[in-house]
Structure 1
Amino acid sequence: MQAKSTTETPAPAGASRHLVLGMLLLVYVFNFVDRQILSILAAPIQADLGLDDAQMGMLGGLAFAILYSTLGVPLAWVADRTSRSWVITGSLVVWSVFTSACALATGFWHIFLARLGVGVGEAGGVAPSYAVIGDHFPSKSRAFALSVYSLGIPLGSAAGVLAGGYVAQAVDWRTAFLVVGLCGILIAPVFKLVVSDKPRCTTRPAVRFSDVARTLSRKRSFWFLSFGAASSSMLGYGVAFWLPSLLQRSFHLSLVETSWFFGAVLLLGGTTGVLTGGALADRLGKADRAWYGRVPALGFVCAVPLYAGAIWTSSVPLAFLLFLLPQVLAYFWLGPVTGAIQHLVDPPARATASALFLLINNLIGLGGGIYALGALSKALAPVWGGDSLRYSMLFALILYLLAALLMTLAGPGLRKEWVEEK
């Protein structure tokens, strides 16, 4: 069965598509700096505020994910009906202000509320950005363009880890939050000056949320991709948040040594994996759309034994190599899956469709993964002591195998449900 076609209009005049992509990438870098900085600062925050692993898991996952996931849908709907660039700009300002507010925390509930605010701001950043990229880049290169945008994850995570570690070591953890928050506020006006919205078709009716939701609910590939991504994100976000603590507890690295180790893993492994996954999907997907699910699935399956070896070893150099390789493979999914979601709806509904995907992915993956690994570590502590976090991560590797299965099952649906563009 041939999926329906939709006409793709030319890119708007003004800033080149590559400059627009560069500005979107810069904002996404700050998005992940503000997220990841909490992980490298976990130890000093816990010591200063007296928090346990379960509470830190709530700060890293649930506190952020509750409003980040749920508000992303209405904000994306607003972006589809009004101005995507203004929604992204406003979101950047809001999450940066609340990141700075984390510096004033005096206890668990204070910093919990500040992290909620960060989630509110970041809710309006990603889905509209996916849609802007969909507007500016043609179908044949969209997965790779989304992969370039997704470099914000490893670049921002690495920057957050490195900057956070050094500032915390030189001054304190509060100053680290204040600095990154103020930097985000400063780039907001520059972003709005460069990134403009693509002219909308005035004869086309406005996007209705119910129509987009109904369309996606009937597409099996959407559900398999969304829950596959959510399964992988439970482990991915969990490892990203707790690995600095593991390195300090089980490998006995200092805060700065941890920053270098984890920052290098994120930067080298993440950037390689994101770009490779997008390029492979665009190349193989021309002949068979099922490859947009198969590429991530192969990455997850190959990553499991490597992650297990990295978590189990006691050698720091070997651990670096074994964490680096699966980091490459674990990032394969970003370009292919976010690109495929763009092709399950018509162009005017891209931000809303992306937000519905992110709702599932982040509510389960981000909201559940970090807390689950922290709570499991706390439960295992009476038996395994300082190595409880290591065993928590080992048990969680089954999530990548589940993700691989779901991504593979999305293949037949992608062949039938793909919205081709002329």
Structure 2
Amino acid sequence: MRDAPTAPAQEARFNRRPPFVLAMLLVVYTFNFIDRQILGILAGPIKADLHLSDTQLGALGGFAFALLYSTMGLPLAWLADRRGRTKVIAASLAIWSGFTALCGLVSGFWAMFACRLGVGVGEAGGVAPSYALISDTFPPQQRARALAVYSLGIPLGSAAGILLGGYVAAAVNWRAAFLAVGLAGLVFTPLFAWLVRDPKPANPAAASAMREVLSILARKRSFWLLAFGAGSCSMMGYGLAFWLPSLMRRSFGLDLVQTSQFFGLLLLIGGTVGVMAGGIFADWLGGRSRSAYAWLPAVSFLLGVPLFVAGLFSGSAQWAFWLFLMPQALVYLWLGPVLTAVQHLVPAPMRATASASFLLINNLIGVGLGSLTIGKLSDLLTPTYGDDALRHAILLGLGFYLLAAALMMAGGRYLAREWVE
């Protein structure tokens, strides 16, 4: 009779299963977006309690988070390439969860600003190493789908943040919502660190110098066009994620719980369908033409804009939900294709650093300016449109999806010649 495998052997065998690694990373990414997006549903109570303007709220939702989230991502990704992806991911989860919990204890704008900076520092080390870990774990023909599954953390986490935040804030207060989700992430951290390992040990000697990675990317036109295209669409994506709950309360008359149900279901259904469709279509079309990884998102943005406009000016919340549902799926479709393309612009040992370089541009533009720009537009339009100013601010912001479509279409022209297997 053969001896039963030891606990370390069982752990190693379990950890080598790609679906398990992907599932654990998905949970971490879901926490990432719960902690990132919960501020949107809580904006109303926070604004009233801390006496903030829309511009200040927009700064908390975007600039405060993005300032260090974007700039710290590159050195942390380089560290992950040298020392191991999972160590950096686990440490990052603990940091951002701790600062999310602290958001529930603040008493003013600057204290909240500082805590959001801390959340950004933590989350800076989570995403790019995860992209690289997935690319190391899955074969090329499955990477777009695997990255799409990982990207489900965006709609799942955003929806969970909206729903949990709305219900907890209604039952207790907005502070309890921050404390609850932050502590949940801290509880999950040791489990992730114990069970997930890199497919192969980190080899610092094999990791490329950061300047070498940046030098390769600087010469690739597809990288710049995809990065700025992603930044343009993320401006509106993050702007909508932050401000759509406020729009539903101001212009459609929903209360806090109704808003959390409306937006939570919108993200859960539309976002999940869009992310998975993007991964499936990218793996299928990408085998025929590398350009499809960029052109597929471009078409989806063009189709989504008129539907968003129709939803904004619909006569009821019910009509708005159904009109927003399809474009919500379309504007999430870019994640699997574009993230896969970025992984193939550099050799494998450079992937985390390349991903962080992409995220630096995407997040400085998208996270840093999205909610802030719409908040500023709303304040500027308030003398003319009153409580309906936010609706018109979002309408103007939809132009960034059109700019994203143009940049992605141009980027597709160069992907095939700059692709690295």
Instruction: Rate the CA distance shift 1:379–1:416 in 2: closer, same or farther, 3 A.
Output: same
What is the alpha-carbon distance in structure 2 between the residues aligned to residue 149 and residue 75 of structure 1? 20
Instruction: Rate the CA distance shift 1:129–1:50 in 2: closer, same or farther, 3 A.
Output: same
What is the alpha-carbon distance in structure 1 between the residues aligned to residue 205 and residue 111 of structure 2? 46
**Aligned 8 A contact 1:40 1:165 in 2:** yes
What is the alpha-carbon distance in structure 1 between the residues aligned to residue 203 and residue 59 of structure 2? 45
Counterpart check, 1:256 vs 2:282? no
Alignment of 1:261-280 (within 5 A): 261-280=262-281
* Secondary structure, counterpart of 2:252 in structure 1: coil
Q: Corresponding residue for 1:281?
A: 282
CA shift at 1:45, angstroms? 0.3
CA shift at 1:198, angstroms? 2.2
What is the alpha-carbon distance in structure 1 between the residues aligned to residue 204 and residue 22 of structure 2? 28
The answer for unaligned runs of 5 or more in structure 1 is 1-10
Q: Corresponding residue for 1:370?
A: 371
Counterpart check, 1:145 vs 2:146? yes
What is the alpha-carbon distance in structure 2 between the residues aligned to residue 94 and residue 203 of structure 1? 24
1:161-219 deviations in whole A, cap 9, x for unaligned?
00000000000000000000000000001111221012258596332101100000000
Alignment of 1:17-416 (within 5 A): 17-200=18-201, 205-416=206-417
1:358-398 deviations in whole A, cap 9, x for unaligned?
00000011101110000000000000000000000001111
Instruction: Rate the CA distance shift 1:170–1:396 in 2: closer, same or farther, 3 A.
Output: same
Paired residues in the alignment total 410
1:280-339 deviations in whole A, cap 9, x for unaligned?
111001011000001100110000000001111121111000111100000010000001
Q: Which amino acid aligns with 2:125?
A: G
**Aligned 8 A contact 2:81 2:202 in 1:** no
TM-score (norm 1): 0.96
What is the alpha-carbon distance in structure 1 between the residues aligned to residue 91 and residue 205 of structure 2? 27
Q: Which amino acid aligns with 2:283?
A: D
CA shift at 1:84, angstroms? 0.8
Instruction: Rate the CA distance shift 1:162–1:405 in 2: closer, same or farther, 3 A.
Output: same
**Aligned 8 A contact 1:12 1:136 in 2:** no
Q: Which amino acid aligns with 1:318?
A: W
CA RMSD of aligned residues (A): 1.3
1:30-55 deviations in whole A, cap 9, x for unaligned?
00000110000000000000001000
1:102-131 deviations in whole A, cap 9, x for unaligned?
011100001000000000000000000000
Equivalent pairs: percent with the same residue? 59
The answer for unaligned runs of 5 or more in structure 2 is 1-11
* Secondary structure, counterpart of 1:387 in structure 2: helix
What is the alpha-carbon distance in structure 1 between the residues aligned to residue 108 and residue 353 of structure 2? 36
Q: Which amino acid aligns with 1:281?
A: A
CA shift at 1:23, angstroms? 0.2
TM-score (norm 2): 0.96
CA shift at 1:15, angstroms? 3.4
Q: Corresponding residue for 1:6?
A: none
What is the alpha-carbon distance in structure 2 between the residues aligned to residue 28 and residue 278 of structure 1? 17
Q: Corresponding residue for 1:5?
A: none
What is the alpha-carbon distance in structure 1 between the residues aligned to residue 72 and residue 227 of structure 2? 17
Q: Which amino acid aligns with 2:187?
A: L
Q: Which amino acid aligns with 1:214?
A: S
What is the alpha-carbon distance in structure 1 between the residues aligned to residue 165 and residue 37 of structure 2? 9
What is the alpha-carbon distance in structure 2 between the residues aligned to residue 200 and residue 406 of structure 1? 38
